[in-house]
Structure 1
Amino acid sequence: MEPSATTARPGPDRAGGGRRAAELRVTDAGRQMLRETDHTVGSVEAPLLDGLTAEE
């Protein structure tokens, strides 16, 4: 008996509600993280970016 589409191992578009659902979950988590850490972004990322551009 061949596996049907419902019993086959789920692909990236079927696992956990589909790819779009996963993208939405990641986006929501990212937004929440940005809200929680917004006050530190300037002090943390700016020196890192300055260091990267200085080496080029």
Structure 2
Amino acid sequence: MTGSTTPRDLDLDSLKIVELAMRAQSELGIEIGEDDITSDLTLDQMQELLRDKRRQT
């Protein structure tokens, strides 16, 4: 797994992606929109998205 790995590369379906977003919201206290995390987003991009969301709170 590298920074360019995507959820699709990990065989995560849309339900798992939603669960991932919900867990991030719960644990980090941030709001993540339905369309923020997609199967094409890389792990590096997800990390940056989560950092940006935390800065906004």
Instruction: Provide TM-score, normalisation by structure 1.
Output: 0.34
**Higher gyration radius (CA):** 1
TM-score by length of 2: 0.33
